[in-house]
Amino acid sequence: MEKKDLRIVYMGTPEFAVESLKRLVEGGYQVVGVITMPDKPMGRHGSVLQPSPVKQYAVSQGLKVLQPEKLKDENFLAELRDLKADLQIVVAFRMLPEVVWNMPRLGTFNLHASLLPQYRGAAPINWAVINGETETGITTFFLKHEIDTGEIIDQVRVPIADTDNVEIVYDKLMHLGGDLVVKTVDAILEGNVKTIPQEQLAAATELHPAPKIFKETCRIDWQAGVKKVYDFVRGLSPYPAAWTELHQGDAAPLALKIFETEKVFVAHNLKPGSIVTDKKTYFQIASTDGFVKVLSLQLAGKKRMEVADFLRGYRHVEDSFVE
């Protein structure tokens, strides 16, 4: 079968998923349908509907788009069957019921932003950086019942530099993901797929999960040590952003997001969360084995700024502490 004859249904929602879809369209593959999340209500009263990045791209290319509220809805399933897909591809979408992933004759494969079986879950890029990993990657695998557990088709390894934040790693994986999706489709077309059971890889190592990240997940623990705080900040930067509370006297604490830091390992006798600053150029926060030097941050109600700008506008910072 030629690639132009292979009927593909593509499923995805965020920007991360656009690159792979774009590569398929520009590569001449036949994408007969795109499944994405319903438009998201935006604005003060939810009166403006915001289409997903995948929908925006699909519409710009004249592709058929389906946006089911529920993936087991009979009308949606009938529309999906009518597309007569040979293969389904999932990139950053949602958990599929078996009636969906088992529909095409060649199966359904997923692109996941980790080296499976490591970092199964909703936030694999964030957790790899938070945990100080020096390497991550992307994996294609066939879907089965348990989430992110199907047999691996292919993987690409990607180094994580000590200065990389999650945005940098995200961009690397997004572009390499487009390459890997096309490579995987070609292998399936040519009948050259040799899968590896994840259980085979999982038996040899301790697995790290990648659960969904909530606001409270992003709160900094100043007792954790300089390296862990540093990795935590870059693993959540620029979004959703690590945060702490700035306390000053009897005033209500202010939420403080931190985007960029440096590690300063030095002995001290200060309580973790204590602030050391010259009130002009540097702003350091004590941890157990040194200081976290803050380079850029955002105070509640303000814009993101460099630390020197923050110090010019925030008086009495030397009498404050964070926790």
Looking at the fold, whether 191 and 227 belong to one and the same domain comes out as no
Task: Output the domain CATH number for residue 28.
Answer: 3.40.50.170
- Residue 167 scores a pLDDT above 80: yes
Q: How confident is the model at residue 314 (pLDDT cuts 50, 70, 90)?
A: confident
Q: Is 301 part of a structural domain of the chain?
A: yes
Whether residue 247 contacts residue 272, with contact meaning beta carbons closer than 8 Å, is answered with no
Cβ-count burial 278-291 (b if 16+ within 10 Å, e if not): eeeebbbbbbebbb
Q: Is 311 part of a structural domain of the chain?
A: yes
Looking at the fold, whether 232 and 303 belong to one and the same domain comes out as yes
- How many angstroms separate the CA atoms of 243 and 237, rounded? 10
pLDDT, residue 285, reads: 97
Whether residue 129 contacts residue 164, with contact meaning beta carbons closer than 8 Å, is answered with yes
Q: What are the pLDDT digits (tens) for 31-79?
A: 999 999 999 988 777 778 999 999 999 999 999 999 999 999 999 999 9
* Residues annotated within a binding site for (6S)-5,6,7,8-tetrahydrofolate: 114-117
Q: What are the pLDDT digits (tens) for 222-279?
A: 999 999 999 999 999 999 999 999 998 888 999 999 999 999 999 999 999 999 999 8
CA 156 to centroid of chain Cα atoms: 17
pLDDT, residue 301, reads: 87
Domain boundary among 162, 177, 202: 202
Q: Is 60 part of a structural domain of the chain?
A: yes
Of 34-43, 193-202, 212-221, 314-323, where does mean pLDDT reach its minimum? 314-323
Task: Output the domain CATH number for residue 253.
Answer: 3.10.25.10
Q: Is 176 part of a structural domain of the chain?
A: yes
Looking at the fold, whether 25 and 169 belong to one and the same domain comes out as yes
Domain boundary among 178, 202, 226: 202
Which whole number is the average pLDDT over 174-201? Answer: 94
Q: Is 33 helix (H, G, I), strand (E, B) or coil?
A: strand
Looking at the fold, whether 58 and 183 belong to one and the same domain comes out as yes
Of 26-35, 147-156, 165-174, where does mean pLDDT reach its minimum? 147-156
In Å, how far are 39, 51, 88, 143, 199 from 146, measured between CA atoms? 28, 29, 17, 8, 12
Looking at the fold, whether 51 and 106 belong to one and the same domain comes out as yes
Looking at the fold, whether 184 and 240 belong to one and the same domain comes out as no
Looking at the fold, whether 180 and 233 belong to one and the same domain comes out as no
pLDDT, residue 297, reads: 97
- Residue 162 scores a pLDDT above 80: yes
Looking at the fold, whether 243 and 176 belong to one and the same domain comes out as no
pLDDT, residue 92, reads: 95
Looking at the fold, whether 192 and 220 belong to one and the same domain comes out as no
Looking at the fold, whether 10 and 153 belong to one and the same domain comes out as yes
Q: Is 168 part of a structural domain of the chain?
A: yes
Looking at the fold, whether 194 and 279 belong to one and the same domain comes out as no
Looking at the fold, whether 119 and 257 belong to one and the same domain comes out as no
Number of domains composing the chain: 2
Whether residue 66 contacts residue 8, with contact meaning beta carbons closer than 8 Å, is answered with no
Q: What are the pLDDT digits (tens) for 71-129?
A: 999 999 999 999 999 999 999 999 999 999 999 999 999 999 999 999 999 999 999 99
Mean pLDDT of the chain: 94
Q: What is the 3-state secondary structure (H, E, C) of 242-292?
A: EEEEEECCCCCCEEEEEEEEEEEECCCCCCCCEEEECCCCCEEEEECCEEE
pLDDT, residue 204, reads: 78
Asked whether the whole model's pTM tops 0.75, one would answer yes
pLDDT, residue 1, reads: 80
Q: Is 211 part of a structural domain of the chain?
A: no
Host domain of residue 227: 216-322
Of 81-90, 157-166, 192-201, where does mean pLDDT reach its minimum? 192-201
pLDDT, residue 263, reads: 98
- Residue 319 scores a pLDDT above 80: no
Q: Is 207 part of a structural domain of the chain?
A: no
Which whole number is the average pLDDT over 171-175? Answer: 97
* Residues annotated within a binding site: 114-117
Domain boundary among 202, 234, 267: 202
- Residue 215 scores a pLDDT above 90: yes
Q: Is 209 part of a structural domain of the chain?
A: no
